[in-house]
Structure formats: C-alpha cells, structure tokens
Chains A and B, each alone.
Chain A
Amino acid sequence: MKEGNGNHDATTHAGMYYVELLLVGLIWGCTYAMMALGLTLVYGLLRVLHVAQATVFTLGAYIGLLAANHTGSLIAAFVTGALAAGALGPLIYRFVYQPILDRPPFVALVASIGVLVAMEDGFRLLFGPYGLSFEDNVWFTTTYAVAGMTVNLVQIWMVVAAVLLLSAFAVFATRTRAGVAWRATVSDPPMAESFGVSVVGVRYTSFLIASVLAGVAGVLVGLLNNLVEPGMGGVIAYKGLAIIVLGGLGSVPGTLAASLVLGVVESYGTVFLDKLLDRDAIAFLFLIVVLMVRPQGLLGGR
C-alpha cells in the first residue's frame, strides 16, 4: 500500500474489499474445518463431545513451536506437532473416555472439559504464562500480492493443508477397506464387529485422525498468530461444538460446509457488526438463528 491517503484505484479496491473479506473468512473456515472434522468423527463414533480436542490442538502448537525454534525448520514443526497431537488424542481416549463409555454421554463431556481446564493450567506450568513465539516465522512474513489483496504463506498453507488432509480423509473413508470398516462401525457397531471389524481399532484410528488434524491446525494457528499460549484452544473448542451442531451432528460434509460458512459470517460480522457483537457472539448468534430455521443443521436431511 502507498503512503498517505491517495485514492488510487479506489473503485477496484472497494469491490476487492468484499472479496478479501470473503477470502479471510474462508481461511478461518479452513481452520475450523480441521478442528471440527475430528469432533464430528468422535461424536459420530462415541457420541462424546470431545472438548479436550482443544488440548490436543494446543499441545501440537507447543511441540511444533519448540521443534521449529530448536531446528529452525517449519516442516519439523508440522511433523513433530502432528506426532505429539497424534499420540495425545488416542491416550485421551484410552485413559479418559474408555473407562466411562458405558455412562451417559454427559459424563464423558464433563471428563473432557476437566481435561481441557486442567491442561490449560498444565501448559501454563510447563511452558510459562506468557506464551511463546516463533523465532523465525518466515511463512508469516512471506507475502504475495494478488489483485490488491495480500496473503501470506501461512494462510496459503492453511488452505492447502485443509484441502489435502480433508481430501485424504475422504479417500480413506470411501475408497479403502479400513475406511469402509470405519463407516460401518459408525452406523452399526455390533453389526460391524460381527463382520470382524475391530471396533476398538476403529476408535483409535478416529482419535488418531482427529488429533493429527488438530495438531496441524494448532501449528498453523500458532504461526498465524505468531503466538502459542496455554488457552489458545478454548475458543476453537467451543466453536467447534457449535460447528458440528450446525453441520447436523455427525455429518462430515455438513461439518465442512458449516466451518466455511461460519468463517465467512465471522469475517463480515467482525467488521459490520463489531459495534454490536463481538466475534464469538456472532458465531453463536448465527448458530441459534440457523437452528431456529433448520433444527437438523445446515445440510442435515431428516
């Protein structure tokens, strides 16, 4: 942008402004999608609202950041962040959810919230209260000008990672034996088991997939904010719940659509409704409005 207040190409700019807001919203939507897909998987399988996914997200971000600052490589950040997250998720399943699976779902929800709250202070004790930043966040400072808009490499990677990982998941779910077994387990666990599907194996796989997605999202959000902090998962966890409800609980396409729509609504909302409502309030107001009109969610059938 030029210095001062010249009204250079003002008209193109005005039009591009709305496009840029749309783009911003879609990028946010990709973050939400990576988080919400995992929540949907777990909900579909266990009927558990996996709030502690935010803990997995935050751990991924911390480990990724430490790896990046240690090795100087952002690729290392993604690998280690995904590994750490991928390890933590199944552990949470094994030690938190599995022992109480025969209880009503709210018991698991309480346990999940307990993990989230405890680990928020756990991260604070482990990594300090101030939050940590990347020493050399080259992706953030590498920017591209496209038609008057500026995007940085992290934003591009956010979209690329979301598309790649979610496509990989789609291929897995529809084209592989394991995927078919997984879908069978979601719709009818006893039947799937009688056909020799390992229900337990499917559960671990689901937590693994959900957690790797969350870990990658955590590193990306850490890079976008250049800040990894103990409470960074909180907002996204609760919003993730809103998204899976919006998407029509358990529906993968619905969840993805809801993620993108919510990102865009927030993007416009933060500019045009900012005097009335803050961003999170916009998100939940949108949820309420949608549920009043379409109780089954955005894409829900029924």
Chain B
Amino acid sequence: MRTLAPSLLTRPFQGEGRGGGEGTDRHDKEEVTMAIHRAVKSASTTLAAAALGIALAAPASGQSIRIGFHAPLTGFAAADGKSALNGAELAVAQVNAAGGVNGRKIELVVQDDQAKADQAVPLANKYIGEGLKIVVSGSYSGPTRAAAGVFQKAQVPYISAYAIHPDITRAGDYVFRTSFMGEVQGRAAAKFVGEMMKKRKVTLVTLNNDFGQSLSAGFKEVAGKFGIQIASEYSYAMGDRQFGSIVASVKRDDPEMLYVSGYFFNGGPLVAQLRAGGVTAPILGTEGFDTHNFIKIAGQAADGVMITTSLDRDSKSPETRKFIDDYEKKFGTPVDMVAASTHTAIKVAAAALAKAGGEDPAKIRGAIAATRGFQVATGRISFNALGEVYKAAQIQVIRDGRFRHQATIDDPQLLAPPTK
C-alpha cells in the first residue's frame, strides 16, 4: 500500500521525511540547500547501511533456509518498518516452533531500505549475490517496485507484503503481492458506503500519492453503481497535519459520509480535527489507519471511525487468532495491518518452500503461484495469473478504543484484482 517517490530531491521540502511518499516532483527546489542536504544524508545513510549490513548479514547457520526480508527500519517510514519486522519475525518463530520447513529452520536475512527506491537495487543484488532463493518486501512501493525488476531478472521469487503500486507485479511472473491493490480496496469501500451504509452524498478526502489516489480511483469507479454521488473531493499532501481548510469545506458541503485515505499520521490528526470542527458524518478510512497509533492520535474522535482493511480482529479463524495473541504476547503492542501483511507474506513463502521441497527458485515460484484458499492471518488468499491476491475485504470499526468487526465484503467479482 505504501509508495515512495524515487526523487530524493523532493524530500527535504516536504520536511517530515514522510513527505517523500508523494509521487511528485512539483516542489520547487533550492538547489544548493538540496545538494548539501543530499550529501549529508547519503553519507550518513551509507554508514548506517554498512553497519547494518555487517550486523545482519552474519553467516547463516548451515542448516536453515534463508528468506530475504527488507523493510524501512530507519528513516521516515521506520514506524511501519518496525511493525513489518515484528510481523515477519513472528511468522518465522511460529513456523520454526511448528517444526520448520521440511525439517529445517527458516531464518530472515534483514536489510534496511529506508523506504527509498535507490536503496532497493543494491540491496536486491546483495540478496541475489548471497544466493537467496526467496525474498519478501516489508516495505513501501518505491523500493519494492525498484527491486521487483531486479528479482524478476534474476528469477528469484519476490513477495510484496503491503506495497500497493500496480507496476510491482507487472515486473513479471516471479513477483507476487499478498495485499490489496488500492483500486480493489476502494471498490470495497464504495460497496460498503452505498450498499451497506446506504449513504448517497459522499465527500472524499484523498492523500495525493499513489496510495490515496488509487483508493479514490477505485471508489469513484464503482460509486455510481452503488448509488453514490460524490459531493466533493479534497486532496492533501503527505506532510500535512493541519486540515483547517478541509474541515471548513467539509462543513460547508455537509455530506452524509466521508471517505478518507492516508496513513495514521495524517488520518489521526485529520479525523480529530474533523470531529473537533463539528463534522458528525460517519467516516470510512483505509488500511493506512489500521494501527493502534491511529486511535492514540485521534483519541475520542476515533470512536466510530470505520476502515477497510485485511485484518479482522474478531476473526474466528485459528490462524488469525494465533497471530493476534502471539503478536501481542511477543511484542506487547497491538497488531496492525502492516504486521499482519508481512506475517502473511512470510507464511506464504514458508508454505511455498515446503511445497517446493527444496530451494529451486522455479519450483518455489510455481508453488506460490499455485496457492489457492490458503488460510493466513489476513484471511483465505489465492493468487491470480498476475500474482495478485484475492481475499475478502474487512470493514473494521473503532469502538472503545479498539478495532472491531463491522462487516466482511467477500465479492470475488467486485474485488477481482487485475490480471495483467
């Protein structure tokens, strides 16, 4: 679901770093400042990357099967990187506790990509050079998209856990995705708003990057079909935390419901400001809000907010229950969508390794591609010919400071991912 523009140049003016997520070069640049900024930044990141590389690429224990895993452990996306690594580590621990894969333990070879596309290619080559036969991305679209082509060329199976950009799986048949594409999730949102909530007049507040725009595009694509009329649409940038103008505009438009995209660090302040500004219409958010941090930021205002996501906290599935219980026991923090997604991706990788019966990349690829109705933390998943996933969409609602089940949308036609 996450994206990152490859352009380093845009980053500093968006400050925040998180601003790096918008796919835009529109910012006007002060060349000198930027060049200096870049130099300082790249020197420090090179050092950090080197140190981390040494620490994490320690020689593998002879017997275990190594799975590459990269995530933004430092930099602006470090919050998601932490959840991503937690989810992946839990999956590895669970697989090993259950006897490993074909009698061998699995282990992660972790690298930090800082959510930057320019870090991804060297990192991918390093995995390939070390002879790894399967790699999972626990990162945003920028690095994942850049690495996908490298892995495809080397014919190393590559699974994107939660990056949303459509081009990722288009890199070729060795690349898979276990999360919803933005458009698919947006379509689920439209069905929920129009058919289940029966709301007609809807205002969209869209984060202006790949993630937000693809969600809104999916929503608008099928809105008419579900009787929804788009009253107005506003967009905001990744670095924004203050939404006074949008709140005033929403009040003027007086919609029956709001569909809001973004991440928890935008969405939390946005929802809090909407409520403080007197907007009472129900709010539907996206999987970007699917973390306890959203509730911490929005506080009371989070109550009643609904989201589309792929993790059902009230699921009866033993696989999901075990994920939630083990995660909270192991890390002492509530689960989130990112952790559930990397957990899912590692489970898919482990199952494929088991089925392939060895470390032949072609066989592993075939095993992933053949995955049908596989029960994981994010539900029952199957891949299509493009390597995109099908699974039911979850609508969760926040009640008393916790995510709870609101609805499940299991509509294979509506939620069918593209096949090419």
Contacts and interface: CB of A to CB of B under 8 A. Distances in A.
B251 A234 contact: no
B182 interface: no
A234 B16 contact: yes
A114 interface: yes
Interface in A10-26: 13-14, 17, 20-21, 23-25
Most A C-beta atoms less than 10 A away, residue of B19, B30, B297: B297
Contacts of B208: 274, 278
B101 interface: no
B268 A288 contact: no
Contacts of B17: 120, 231, 234
Given A4-B256, A235-B16, A271 B300 contact: no
A261 B273 CA distance: 23
B254 A1 contact: yes
B276 A231 contact: no
Contacts of B81: 129
Given A1-B280, A278-B24, A131 B293 contact: yes
B130 interface: no
Interface string A148-188: 01101000000000000000000000000000000000000
Given A14-B252, A129-B82, A226-B299, A21 B245 contact: yes
A152 B74 CA distance: 35
Contacts of B24: 278, 281
B235 A121 contact: no
A236 B241 CA distance: 12
Contacts of A120: 17
A97 interface: no
Contact of B36 (A6, A113, A288): A113
B333 to A, nearest CB: 9
B78 interface: yes
Contact of B276 (A7, A143, A149, A288): A143
Nearest to A227: B297
Interface size on A, as a range, is 35 or more
B104 interface: no
B312 interface: no
Given A5-B255, A271-B234, A232 B16 contact: yes
B236 interface: yes
A106 B35 CA distance: 12
Interface stretch (A37-45, A133-141, A189-197, A201-209): A133-141
Contact of A281 (B28, B256, B279): B28
Given A113-B33, A137-B299, A238 B12 contact: yes
Contacts of A101: none
Nearest to A1: B278
A75 interface: no
A136 to B, nearest CB: 9
Interface in A42-68: 54
A28 B273 CA distance: 14
Contact of A141 (B40, B244, B296, B300): B300
Contacts of A229: 16, 265
Given A110-B40, A150-B277, A231-B17, A278 B272 contact: no
A237 B15 contact: yes
B95 interface: no
Nearest to A5: B254
A279 B278 contact: no
A103 interface: no
B210 interface: no
B27 A280 contact: yes
Contacts of A4: 254, 256
Contacts of B297: 131, 133, 225-227
B40 A271 contact: no
Interface of A: 1, 3-7, 13-14, 17, 20-21, 23-25, 27-28, 54, 106, 109-110, 113-114, 117-118, 120-121, 124, 129-131, 133, 137, 140-141, 143, 145, 149-150, 152, 221, 224-227, 229, 231-239, 241, 267-268, 270-271, 274-275, 277-281, 284-285, 287-288
Given A226-B269, A285-B28, 9 more contacts: A1-B254, A3-B280, A54-B15, A129-B82, A226-B297, A231-B18, A241-B33, A268-B245, A281-B237
28 contacts: A5-B201, A27-B244, A106-B32, A106-B36, A118-B44, A131-B79, A131-B265, A133-B299, A141-B276, A145-B278, A149-B248, A224-B241, A225-B241, A226-B297, A233-B15, A234-B14, A234-B19, A235-B19, A237-B15, A241-B30, A241-B33, A274-B234, A277-B26, A278-B26, A278-B237, A279-B236, A279-B239, A280-B15
